[in-house]
Each structure stands twice: as structure tokens, then as C-alpha cells.
Amino acid sequence: MLDKPLGLTSTQALGKVRWLVNAEKAGHGGTLDPLASGLLPIALGEATKTIQWAMDGMKTYQFTVQWGSETSTDDLEGKIVATSNYFVSSNENNVLPRSMSFAAMRQNVSAALLSFHGAVQQRPPAYSAIKVDGERAYDLARAGEEVALDARTVQIDNLTVIDWPTPSQTTFEVVCGKGTYVRSIARDLGRALGWLGHVVMLRRLAVGPFRAADMISLEKLTEMVHSPASENSLSGILRPIESVLDGIPALDLMDPDAQRLRHGQTVMLQGNAPLAAEVVLVRHDGRPLGLGSIENGVLKPRRLFNL
């Protein structure tokens, strides 16, 4: 799990890792903008076939919202497009609340957060990778076109305040599902308060089963690769291919059926095997064989691992 630094796209970070470890195939799960840092799952070799399931996991972020203005990108990289009467600029680099106490601000935020839990309707930012008529939304927005994306339902399990770095900034922690945009949370929360807001700090702390303790920086990875005992040290940070599939039911096959599946053939299941499953991790002799689906008691191969 890479601790992606600020200033790099996820693709650039992936390229650096792939070059360092000399991997033929590599992929990442859950894109982070250059503004964002933190946990970026990197898959190497056959593990690239599991990227989809890494992206489907719940994610945890910490982010700081600057109150008082909204930007075109919903973060500090965009131009200010609206300002709030609730805040006043004391100088170029400081915005202060107008006639609001900290107690009142905290109370207002706590009340607003009640609407940001569970299944929430959210409109993605105009500057996002969502496709509109075959074009990326951010490409259209950068070309000056009006981009109005449809709202969609996202899952927010928890959203809490963890700090107030300045009188006009609040830091939150959120646990959310696939497709949730933290920048949209900041924008919508700012509008709900009447304060307006945009993200000035964003860091991802967890993706599915992976946590901050699993992360390694590019600097540390570079040091390990160039150390005399690089092969042994790298084996200590690489996770088995099935680690990202912890939430998927497993199915063990005996030799004849395992051979059939390896050749892309279906397998008629017997005994206590489930009659239906959208996806299962298929194993043979304790080793992952691939991913399959079950329909009417018949196992069909989806993605097989060449291990």
C-alpha cells in the first residue's frame, strides 16, 4: 500500500512504483487527485485482476474544509466562484467568521452533519473523471463548458469533526462507500450551513481491509529497493493476492474440478456448495485459483490467476 505524496497523480505514483520494482503489470485502486495524499493500493502482476474489489471497499478520509468560499473544483486548486457573507477577509491569507463564536459554529456543524449519514444523494464535482457523452467531465469543464452531473446515491457510514485548525477551517473524518466524492461533501456541507466551503487538505487512511499502518512511502520503497537485501525486505511489504478479497466467500475445489476450471470450463457443484453467488474466490490446495460466479449450482470462471 503506497502512501501517495502530494503533487503526483495516482498514475504517476503507480509508474514510479512499477519502475522501482520492475513489474511488467501494475495497477492501482481508488484514484487520488494530486491534491490528495495517503493510501493508494498498488497491485502487481496477477494481483491486477483484483483491483475492482479493492475499489469497492469502504474508504476512510480525513479532510479540511475552508469556510467562506466555493471554488470551481470544490478544492483549493480551482478559482473562487462564490463567497459567503458569514465570513470576512482580514487579509489576503486569512478569513474570519463574522460575529460567530466557536460554540455557535460547532453547534451549527453538528446539526448539519445529521443529514450526511447513511444513503445520501450527492452530485459529483464538475471536475471529475465521470464520462459525459464519451468525454471526461473535467476535460469539458476545463474547456469552459457547463457541466451538470446527475446526483446519485452514495453511502456515508460516519462523518465527524476531529479538529478546528483555524477559526474558519474544520477537519473531518469520513467513512464512505464507492463513488463518494469528499469534495462534494465539503461543497454540500458548506451550502447546508450557508457558509460555503472547499477542501484544502485531503488524506486517505483506509481502503477496504487496508489501513494506514500498511502504507509505505516512495522514499522508503526506493531505499528498500536499493538495499543489498532488497528481495527479502520487499517480500515483507507485499501482501498475498487474496488479501484484497477477504470479504468474498471462498470455495475449495478438488483436483478434477480445479483442472476443469483452469481450462475455462464450468463445474457442477455438489454437497453444501451455494446454489448462487455473484463472485467467489476459488481455491485449490490452499492456493487461490481464480474468481468465479455460481448460477443454479454451476460454477463459471470469471478471472483466473496464473500463479
Whole-number percent of the chain with pLDDT over 70: 93
Three-class secondary structure of residue 193 per DSSP = helix
For the segment 146-173, what is each residue's pLDDT rounded down to a tens digit? 777 788 999 999 999 999 999 899 999 9
The two beta strands, 2-4 and 216-217, are: parallel
Confidence of residue 100 (pLDDT cuts 50, 70, 90): confident
121: pLDDT strictly greater than 80: yes
What distance, in Å, lies between the first and last C-alpha atoms of the chain?
21
Query: Do residues 224 and 234 lie in contact, with contact meaning Cβ atoms separated by under 8 Å?
Result: yes
**Would you state the pLDDT for residue 304?**
94
218-225 vs 10-21: helix axis angle to the nearest 10? 10
- State the amino acid at position 92 in one-letter form: E
Which triple of cell numbers denotes residue 275?
A: 446454489
Which are the contacts of 47, defined by CB distance < 8 A and separation ≥ 6?
A: 241, 244
Q: Look over the chain and give the mean of its residue pLDDT values, rounded to a whole number.
A: 89
DSSP 103: H
Is pTM beyond 0.85? Reply is: yes
What is the biggest distance separating any 2 CA atoms in the chain, rounded to whole angstroms? 76
Helix (H) or strand (E) holding 294: strand 287-295
**Could you give the CA distance from residue 209 to residue 104 in angstroms, rounded to a whole number?**
38
The angle at the Cα of 66, spanning 64 to 70, to the nearest 5 degrees, equals 125
Catalytic residues: 33
Higher pLDDT, 139 or 38: 38
Residue intervals in the chain for CATH 2.30.130.10: 248-304
| Architecture of domain 2-57+210-241 in this structure | 2-Layer Sandwich (3.30)
Q: CA dist 297 to 200, 262, 267, Å? A: 51, 18, 9
* Interatomic CA distance for residues 123 and 183, integer angstroms: 10
CATH-assigned architecture of domain 66-164+174-202: 2-Layer Sandwich (3.30)
Give the Cα separation of 82 and 210 in Å (integer).
38
pLDDT at 136: 76
**CATH architecture type of domain 248-304:** Roll (2.30)
For 87-96, how does the pLDDT look when each residue is reduced to its tens digit (9 = 90+)?
A: 988 776 678 8
pLDDT band at 70 (very low <50, low <70, confident <90, very high): very high
Question: Does the pLDDT value for residue 307 go beyond 90?
Answer: no
**What would the mean pLDDT of 214-241 be, rounded to a whole number?**
81
CATH code 3.30.2350.10 region(s) in the chain? 2-57+210-241, 66-164+174-202
